[in-house]
């Protein structure tokens, strides 16, 4: 046997040994979770560095399971996305009701490639992804960020990377940027936080909450493209000099006033700031007839305040209530009279924290 053939045989043998070692060393699969979110104040303005306040919606869960497949060479060899009725993903992975099979969304593909590179494996496995999400997509509830976060955690679990919270954020944010074009990072943060998230000028903190409250989340029934909404606003600002600054000043003032009201436990005042924020966003063409009428219905039904939430152009409306019975009554009324899906999430009384 010539030297080249001997070398080739030896490296093939080595590759085989490394592969079987990696098969044994890597656990078969990894899992990760995340959840949905709503934006209380400051959406869109936050893209330009102004403050925004988001609240997690833990009842809208998302879970990913990833598994290694050999050979795979770092490719995503399988992708299944199961959209569950909200609140379902808790027990063992379920036989899926609605499966989307096919090409992996670009943002998730970036997460997989980045984390496989980071693992520095000598022989790259293929990755099979199963996503179960109870976060309705295209409703301003952070579905894409929740999916990216769940997949990031699942790969971290599989590859034993022990990613810091900053590294997880970077992964989710790179996926969000691919999905939305320009993303502030608030979805990437809030889909992994158990507390309210304040993002202002790139700085993250947990704002004080002086009283318990309830947020009813109402689905308007129509999808919303955050990318489209962000681009629409960017074009409009470019066409109307000074309009961006006016919007940012107004939004900042509302968000800061809302934060003071929330810290002081003055929920009625906070509610008025939410409604003001809706009017501000409506003036920019981000609301629809349906989201406007849901806001009116919530206010008539006794909400302390109501607004569109997230990118707009459809999506969800949120409404503030002071107590759980009031929130339940509001949700029941909106369901009965408007035939929409509703969920509730809580504002929990808590002192301010430096980070999330």
Give the 3-state secondary structure of residue 65.
Answer: strand
Name the residue nearer to ligand PMV (CB basis): 66 or 179.
179
Cβ–Cβ under 8 Å, residues 214 and 260: no
Residue of 173, 226, 252, 344 that binds ligand PMV (CB under 6 A): 226
x/- mask, ligand PMV, residues 107-146, rule CB under 6 A, reads ---------------------------------x-x----
200 contributes a contact to ligand PMV by CB under 6 A: no
Name the residue nearer to ligand PMV (CB basis): 31 or 243.
243
Contacts of 122 (CB under 8 A, 6+ apart): 18, 22
Cβ–Cβ under 8 Å, residues 207 and 186: no
40 contributes a contact to ligand PMV by CB under 6 A: no
Give the 3-state secondary structure of residue 157.
Answer: helix
219 contributes a contact to ligand PMV by CB under 6 A: no
334 contributes a contact to ligand PMV by CB under 6 A: no
* Token output for 103: 């090409």
Stretch that binds ligand PMV, among 18-26, 108-116, 150-158, 184-192 (CB under 6 A): 184-192
- What one-character DSSP code corresponds to residue 128? E
Cβ–Cβ under 8 Å, residues 146 and 229: no
Residue of 33, 34, 41, 43 that binds ligand PMV (CB under 6 A): 43
105 contributes a contact to ligand PMV by CB under 6 A: no
> Cβ of residue 42: shortest distance to ligand PMV, in angstroms?
8
Give the C-alpha separation, 213 to 321, whole Å: 6
Cβ–Cβ under 8 Å, residues 233 and 44: yes
> Which of positions 153-182 make contact with ligand PMV (CB under 6 A)?
180
Residue of 111, 183, 200, 215 that binds ligand PMV (CB under 6 A): 183
Residues contacting ligand PMV: total by CB under 6 A: 16
Stretch that binds ligand PMV, among 39-47, 99-107, 117-125, 215-223 (CB under 6 A): 39-47
How many angstroms separate the Cα of 95 from the Cα of each of 3, 33, 143, 265?
Answer: 54, 18, 21, 44
Q: How many CB atoms lie within 10 A of CB 68?
A: 21
Give the 3-state secondary structure of residue 27.
Answer: coil
Give me the residues that bind ligand PMV (CB under 6 A), please.
39, 43-44, 46-47, 140, 142, 180, 183-184, 186-187, 226, 230, 310-311
């Amino acid at each position: 046997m010539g030297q080249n053939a001997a070398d080739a045989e030896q490296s093939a043998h080595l590759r085989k040994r490394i592969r079987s070692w990696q098969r044994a060393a890597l656990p078969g699969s990894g899992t990760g979770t995340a959840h949905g979110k709503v934006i209380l104040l400051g959406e869109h303005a936050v893209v330009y560095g102004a403050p925004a306040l988001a609240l997690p919606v833990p009842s809208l869960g998302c879970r990913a399971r990833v598994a290694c497949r050999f050979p795979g060479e770092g490719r995503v060899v399988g992708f299944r996305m199961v959209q569950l009725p909200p609140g379902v993903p808790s027990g063992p992975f379920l036989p899926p009701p609605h499966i989307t099979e096919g090409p992996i969304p670009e943002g998730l593909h970036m997460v997989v490639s980045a984390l496989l590179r980071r693992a520095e494996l000598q022989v790259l496995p293929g990755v099979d992804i199963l996503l179960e999400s109870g976060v309705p997509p295209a409703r301003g509830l952070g579905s894409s960020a929740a999916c990216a976060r769940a997949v990031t955690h699942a790969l971290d679990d599989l590859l034993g990377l022990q990613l810091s919270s900053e590294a997880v954020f970077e992964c989710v944010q790179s996926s969000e940027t691919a999905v939305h074009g320009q993303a502030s990072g608030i979805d990437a943060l809030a889909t992994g936080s158990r507390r309210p998230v304040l993002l202002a000028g790139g700085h993250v903190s947990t704002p004080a909450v002086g009283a318990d409250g309830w947020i009813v989340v109402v689905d308007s029934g129509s999808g919303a493209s955050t990318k489209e909404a962000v681009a629409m606003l960017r074009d409009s600002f470019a066409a109307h000099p000074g309009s961006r600054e006016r919007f940012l000043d107004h939004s900042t003032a509302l968000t800061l006033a809302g934060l003071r009201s929330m810290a002081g436990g003055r929920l009625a005042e906070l509610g008025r700031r939410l409604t003001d924020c809706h009017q501000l966003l409506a003036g920019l063409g981000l609301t629809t007839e349906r989201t406007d009428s849901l806001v009116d219905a919530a206010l008539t039904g006794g909400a302390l305040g109501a607004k569109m939430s997230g990118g707009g152009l459809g999506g969800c409306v949120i409404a503030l209530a002071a107590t759980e019975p009031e929130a339940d009554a509001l949700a029941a009324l909106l369901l009965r009279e408007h035939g929409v899906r509703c969920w509730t999430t809580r504002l929990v009384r808590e002192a301010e924290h430096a980070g999330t």
